[in-house]
Amino acid sequence: MAFLEKNITPEMHLEADGPDRQFLSLSGDWTVSTIGEAERELAGLVDVSKDRLTCIDVSRIEHLDTSGAWLIHRTRGRLEFEGRKVGLAGVTPVRQSLFDEIERHHPPSWKPERNPFTILGFLEAVGRQVVDSGRDGLAMLHILGSLGVVLAAVLRDPKRLRGISIAVQFDRSCIGAVPIVALMSFLIGAIISQQGGFYLKQFGVDIYVVDLAGILILREIGVILTAIMVAGRSGSAFTAELGAMRMQEEVDALHVIGLSVTEVLVLPRILALMIALPILTFISDMAALFGSGLITWAYLDIPPAAFLAELQTAITRETLLVGIVKAPFMALIVGLIACVEGLKVGGSSESLGRHTTMSVVKAIFLVIVVDGFFAIFFAAIGV
């Protein structure tokens, strides 16, 4: 017949031993089973003199384990932090080894990291960034080359193209993004017209705000704004999806069963994004022009008929096509970066969050860089 031995309640007694020393006698069981009662007992320890040496006597303790020893160690540290002299008494060699082990594993006090600026440290950081950028470029070229091989195989055998996957990704990337893209573009178009009209009105040429808004929206603002929102919305989603698949080893499972990751996961997403971004860019242009027209009507007293007439004289078909032509290339950039960062995710949630953030940052940066190259190219050919 088994029975449980009853725990002895932990107790504490503070006794003075002359003018220079006092004893804090502990008795009972100081184990994990009685740790709550022991903490309540030590919580009432307030009458400890700072002028005397306080000796914590553990000789009367019946049972002591790591929990009790840690509580005693913590109490001793608290008293020393308050300016009292504290020591241990009645410690057997076995219990002394327990206290020594706790002392060795006591976490050190936190100290802020100080990284003083040095030329060598700066050059090292720059070098690491250059190496990482080169690796990212090679990874993008690898994915791009794999896409070329997969597209060649799809052209030879169109049945290999996963139309349902492309449709699903298109629905998420395009149809689901229409409200936010239209709303943001409407507001940006309204702000451009209001700010431009505020300054042009001072010179009596407020009608030219239509030219300013039309050219700026159709050539630059519409496509850049759309690409940035797609990078933050769809690009981060692609990275998170692929990263979660990496964490759950689903990508490795595709390799094991002989399927191409590029064909199954990357190609549908990039194709859907390259189809979606021109459509979203056109919607963004129309929403921004609509917002611009409303503000010029309300703020500058330019009626819609006059707005449309001036807009027709200010823009050409090439002006509209410049933004639409940029869209597929920016979609390719966003899709490649999102997929590369997603496939680089490790096995932790911290890695997933870091690569998702890097995906959005890199995509936005490269979108602006690519737009700058397009601006130089179109200026060189006179468009």
Judged by average pLDDT, the poorest of 55-59, 110-114, 195-199, 209-213 is: 110-114
Q: Which domains does the chain have, with CATH numbers?
A: 11-104 (3.30.750.24), 141-380 (no CATH)
Does pLDDT of 133 surpass 90?
A: no
pLDDT tens for each residue of 7-55: 788 888 877 777 777 778 888 888 888 888 888 877 767 666 666 777 8
Judged by average pLDDT, the poorest of 103-112, 170-179, 268-277, 334-343 is: 103-112
Residues in the chain: 383
Does pLDDT of 327 surpass 50?
A: yes
User: Once rounded to an integer, what is the mean pLDDT over residues 195-221?
Assistant: 86
Does pLDDT of 279 surpass 90?
A: yes
Share of the chain above pLDDT 90, in %: 20
Paired tokens of 127 = 């070098």
pLDDT tens for each residue of 153-193: 888 888 888 888 889 989 888 888 899 999 999 999 999 98
Q: What is the mean pLDDT of the chain?
A: 84
Does pLDDT of 383 surpass 50?
A: yes
Does pLDDT of 268 surpass 60?
A: yes
Confidence of residue 3 (pLDDT cuts 50, 70, 90): very low
pLDDT tens for each residue of 302-326: 888 988 988 888 888 888 888 889 9
Does pLDDT of 1 surpass 50?
A: no
User: Once rounded to an integer, what is the mean pLDDT over residues 204-209?
Assistant: 83
In this predicted model, which residue has the larger pLDDT, 81 or 314?
A: 314
What pLDDT score does 107 carry? 62
User: Once rounded to an integer, what is the mean pLDDT over residues 291-311?
Assistant: 88
User: Once rounded to an integer, what is the mean pLDDT over residues 236-244?
Assistant: 90
Judged by average pLDDT, the poorest of 75-89, 118-132, 369-383 is: 75-89
Does pLDDT of 233 surpass 80?
A: yes
User: Once rounded to an integer, what is the mean pLDDT over residues 351-360?
Assistant: 89
